[in-house]
Amino acid sequence: MLVCSCHAVFESTVRSAIASGASCVDSVGAKCNAGSDCGSCIAHIEDLLEEFDRALDRSTAA
């Protein structure tokens, strides 16, 4: 799924950026440019960041 139309960044690329250490919208933008232009994709990026955090919390709680 396309997340950032300004830079043609797909969800898989954003997920990879998050998995490699991006922990906020700005750091995702630094890694793959998503969220660094018009801002229409920021809510989606924030959702992906929260999803990653929840999954991480579940894996460390086990």
Average the pLDDT over 5-9 and give the result: 98
Angle (CA) 24-25-29 rounded to 5° is: 120
> Rounded distance, CA 43 to CA 10, Å?
14
- Which among 51, 55, 27, 39 is positioned nearest to 3, based on CA atoms? 39
- The domain tally of the chain equals 1
Q: Is the pLDDT of residue 18 over 90?
A: yes
To the question of pTM greater than 0.85 for the whole model, the response is: yes
Q: In terms of residue numbers, what domain contains 55?
A: 2-61
CATH number, position 36: 1.10.10.1100
Choice between 57 and 49, residue whose per-residue pLDDT is larger? 49
